[in-house]
Amino acid sequence: MSVPVRPPFLARLLVGGAGIMSLANSITIPFLAIFLSRQLQLDPATIGLVIGSSVFFSIFAGFLGGTLSDIFGRAPVLLASLLGVVVAFTGFYLAEHVIVVFACNALMALSTASFSPVAKALLADLLPTGDRVRWFSYQYLVFNIGFAVGPLLGVFLGVSGGRGAFLVGALAYGVYLTILASALRVAPATNAAKTETTSVLNRFAGSVRAVTTDRRLLCFLVAGLLLEAVHLRISALLAQDLAIDFTDGAAILAVVMTTNAVTVVVFQLFASKIVLRKDPVTAIVIGGLLMFAGMVGFATATGMWAFIVAMVVFSIGETFIVPSEFAIIDRISPEERRGSYFGAQTFAQLGGFVGPYLGGLLLATWNGTVMFLGVGVLALLSAGFYLAIGRRVPGLMQPVEEETASAAH
């Protein structure tokens, strides 16, 4: 009988750090529009430009950070990213002009987007294959707990929408930066800087070629984009429909989004156990079907309780999908390109633009029912895409535990 190996402290710190970061972000980011309006008196169009621009910085920063971590090692990229967020939050706290706000928002998007894939790549470096899905789930769970608690904590502290929130965020990130730097200094070397004599530019170009020519990865990115289009900005789709068709739409939206956070927290560990017994492709197909069922529920809902039930189903689907997507990237990525592959996954976030845009067109042309069903169909397309690709990748459609056992022999 094998004896469970205690996960390294650094892995536990990365998971705990996800909670610290999401707590700091949720105290500040959801209230950024209020801060820009009240403190800097910016008009709605400018506020939308400042906030919306962060998506484009995030998409490219994820791949850049992941690739640089393959070249220089995980530690310098992680620490530089955290330092960037500290500087950005401090800049928000001191900002008096829109140019400063725009620069700080760009720096924050670049830094946070660079950190996330590198942290996942480091988790994969630290843990055996059979433990990775479970720990990706832990990280996602802690992240959601932070976002569930953060806004309420900000209100309780009286900093929501004010400059003080950014100071609290900077301090939280600063503490985490100090602890992580100390842990990385004494931790065993993982993915240390490469010693090849080729130039950094050539190594970076090599990573770009490896990612852009891997048809498996590109197909999974397209499939992931379709899923992101459904769930990444679900609040925007709900808000548009509720604002038009329900007089108490704001109250329903608040309750439904809280339901989303609570459901993810409650079901995440349960879902991760199922994912371990299934293969990641099958888990994503199950999640996609549940997500589509949730969208059908939104399309037919006539009151708050119907929306709540639909969101529970939708959110359970989300708990199957997120760790499984990371597991697939982990399985298909070469060890020396792991950061690049996790970073490339951020390109799927373009779905966060596709979903609301398509939904808006359908809502303007027809109604909310057609909007939810039309966007929901993308989840079915994605599930079919994952299933078709997964069958062509050797060993991908088998449980993580079986794959680990076969690898050991």
235-240 mean pLDDT: 82
- Residue pLDDT, tens place only, 131-149: 888 899 899 889 888 887 8
Give the separation between CA 61 and CA 105, rounded to whole angstroms: 13
Number of neighbours of residue 151 by Cβ within 10 angstroms? 19
Residue 104 reports pLDDT greater than 80: yes
Say whether pLDDT at 32 is over 50.
Answer: yes
CB 288 within 8 Å of CB 386: yes
Class of domain 213-409: mainly alpha
Q: Report the share of the chain in percent with pLDDT over 70.
A: 92
Phi/psi at 128 (5° precision): -65, 160
Residues of the chain with CATH 1.20.1250.20: 1-195, 213-409
Q: What is the pLDDT of residue 405?
A: 43
Question: Per CATH, the architecture of 1-195 is what?
Answer: Up-down Bundle (1.20)
Nearest to 47 by CA among 102, 110, 96: 102
Q: Encode burial over 67-106: b for 16+ CB neighbours within 10 A, e otherwise.
A: bbbbbbbbbebbebbbebbbbbbbbbbebeebeebbebbb
- Please check whether residue 233 is in contact with residue 51, taking contact to mean a CB–CB distance below 8 angstroms: no
Collect all residues with Cβ–Cβ distance below 8 Å to 403 and sequence separation of at least 6: 129, 130, 331, 395
Q: What value does the mean pLDDT take over residues 61-70?
A: 92
d(CA 359, CA 230): 9
Q: What is the pLDDT of residues 257-294, one digit of tens each?
A: 778 888 998 998 888 888 878 889 999 999 999 999 99
Residue 139 identity (one-letter amino acid): Q
For residue 407, what pLDDT is reported? 46
CA pair distance 319, 267, nearest whole angstrom: 7
Rounded mean pLDDT of 341-368?
Answer: 89
pLDDT value at residue 149: 83
Average pLDDT, the chain: 87
The 8-class DSSP code of residue 127 comes to S
> How far apart are the two ends of the chain, measured CA to CA in Å?
16
Instruction: Identify the CA nearest to 166 among candidates 22, 18, 32.
Output: 32
DSSP label at 214?
-
Specify whether the backbone of 73 is left (phi greater than 0), alpha (psi in -120 to 50) or beta: left
Average pLDDT for 347-368: 88
Higher pLDDT, 389 or 30: 389
DSSP annotation of 346 reads G
User: What's the mean pLDDT in 2-7?
Assistant: 49
All residues at 6 or more sequence positions from 387 whose CB lies less than 8 Å from its CB, including other chains: 281, 285
More confident residue, 151 or 298: 298
- What is the pLDDT at residue 198? 60
**Main-chain phi, psi angles of 396, to 5 degrees:** -75, -35
CA 159 to chain centroid = 25
Residue 339 has pLDDT above 70, yes or no: yes
Read off the amino acid at residue 87.
V
Residue 248: half-sphere exposure toward Cβ, Cα within 13 Å: 9
| Whether the Cβ atoms of residue 55 and residue 112 lie closer than 8 Å to each other | no
Mean pLDDT, residues 156-184: 91
Q: According to the model, what pLDDT value does residue 290 have?
A: 97
- Listed as own residue / partner, the contacts of 43-47 with beta carbons closer than 8 Å and 24 or more positions apart are 46/98
Helix axes 54-72, 200-212, angle to 10 degrees: 120
**What would the mean pLDDT of 339-367 be, rounded to a whole number?**
89
Q: What is the DSSP letter of 7?
A: P
Of the two residues 89 and 28, the one the predictor is more confident about is 89
pLDDT value at residue 408: 44
pTM of the model: 0.87
Average pLDDT over residues 80-104: 94
